[in-house]
Amino acid sequence: MKGVEWLVLILLLVLLGCSEDSPVKTQQPPISVDTLYTSSLFPIGAAIDPNYLRSTSSYHTVVTREFNSISVENAMKLGWVHPQQSVYSFTDADYIVSYAQANKKRVHGHVLVWHAFGDVTWLKNFSGDTNDWENLLKDHIQTVVTHFKGKITGWDVVNEAFHDNGQLRNEDTNLNDASDDGSIWMRMLGTGYIERAFQYAHAADPDALLFYNDYGQEVNVAKLNAIKAMVKDFQERGIPIHGVGLQMHIGLNTPDAGIVKAIKELAETGLLIHISELDINISNWVKNPDLKLTEELKQEQKAKYKSMVLAYKQNVPAAQQYGITTWNVGDADSWLRSFHQPNEWPLLFDDVYKPKPAYYGFLEGLKE
């Protein structure tokens, strides 16, 4: 071989030695990295958007690395899976479930019955008697639960049935405030729609864990008490309920005392406890177009995430720890950016999925 050929051969060998799956590379000791779920004794979840999961590789990577439970942010809601009265469509929801199965993640289904079903024209225009509405409720729940039978660990069966004052949503009390909306289910079917929703879901999949899910229990004692009373009543009458979800859309200033009280008192029911939609907003719900994410606020958010995790660990017995789920992954994915204000940073990862101080606060809470 000529000198130049030797040179080419040597270069080729060097290049092969550095390729992706070369023995040289795989012989490196694995880098030990703690992730959220590998640092936790209970499941750590995120609410997932199927479009981001499909199209954004950094989103896919972070979800796969950090979480072992997947909640479905929107894709199992009535408007998504039941777009016409006689049409069901599970494409997006199935995509999430397939991803979860392929990656060994638990799936938490959200949500079977909610007063806020958005622009579902057919349902808004649905006219029928009590019987028709009951059949509609039953058909919806049982078709969806049966479709996912055996693939979904738990379901949010009924979501946000109570007003903050502890009364069941009924009529719309304030047309300018969506949080005060009434419930068509209550108006058409009366109080019993809640327990029947649980019974219908249980009949369709007796192995699924069934949750009641609501927000603001940490700040509205009347609502917390109403939910506890409903749970107690269900338990006494044998209505199948296995868990309560505290959504926990909170702000930096939400008092820790209320958070601890709600978690502790709900855990006393003996049911599973899910922090089901956690995010911690910087603005404390005050619209402020000049708000900036300063280093100080980042550290405050870090401390709040840590205290949230500790409140859960310290007040929920291990056997009742269904897990903590954040409501999506990166700040830019958060519902708060569109529903509240664009300059919000409520989650654990920034807009490009880099872990924020909040992430490290969460991790510290898990490890402490």
- Interface ranges with ligand G3I (CB under 6 A): 73-74, 77, 118, 159, 215, 247, 277, 335
119 or 129, CB closer to ligand G3I? Answer: 119
Judged by CB, which is closer to ligand G3I: 73, or 134?
73
Residue 171: φ, ψ to 5° = -80, 160
Name the minimum Å distance from CB 12 to ligand G3I: 50
Q: Which is nearer to ligand G3I, 99 or 215 (CB)?
A: 215
Closer residue to ligand G3I in complex, CB, 40/325: 325
Nearer to ligand G3I, 36 or 78 (CB): 78
Q: How far is the CB of 276 from ligand G3I (least distance, A)?
A: 8
At closest approach, how far in Å is the CB of 266 from ligand G3I? 17
User: Catalytic: which of 218, 277, 300, 344?
Assistant: 277
The C-alpha angle with vertex 354 and arms to 102 and 288, in degrees rounded to 5, equals 120
DSSP 3-state helix, strand, coil percentages of the chain (rounded to 5)? 45, 15, 40
CA nearest 312: which of 303, 296, 323? 323
Of the residues 160, 195, 218, 344, only one is catalytic, namely 160
Q: Which of the 8 DSSP states describes residue 90?
A: -
- CB of 310 vs ligand G3I, minimal distance in Å: 24
Q: What is the rounded distance in angstroms from the CA atom of residue 96 to the CA atom of residue 210? A: 20
Q: Is 242 within 8 Å of 213 (Cβ atoms)?
A: no
Cβ distance 358 to 346 under 8 Å?
Answer: no
Q: How far apart are CA 220 and CA 222, in angstroms?
A: 5
Nearest to 72, CA basis, from 43, 102, 36, 97:
97
Q: What is the DSSP string of 179-245?
A: GG---HHHHHH-TTHHHHHHHHHHHH-TTSEEEEEES-TTT-HHHHHHHHHHHHHHHHHT----EEE
| Residue 296 CB, nearest approach to ligand G3I (Å) | 27
Residue nearest to ligand G3I (CB): 335
- The minimum distance between CB 346 and ligand G3I, in angstroms, equals 11
Query: By C-beta, is 126 or 335 nearer to ligand G3I?
Result: 335
Of the pair 134, 214, the CB lying nearest ligand G3I is at 214
Active site residue 277: yes
Please count the residues of the chain.
368
The question of whether 134 is a catalytic residue gets the answer no
Peptide bond into 33 cis (omega under 30): no
Query: What are 273's two structure tokens?
Result: 């406890």
CB of 22 to ligand G3I, least distance (A): 43
| Spatial contact of 265 and 244, defined as CB atoms under 8 Å apart | no
CA–CA gap between residue 299 and residue 39 (Å, rounded)? 21
Structure tokens at 342: 């664009």
Q: Active-site residue numbers?
A: 160, 277
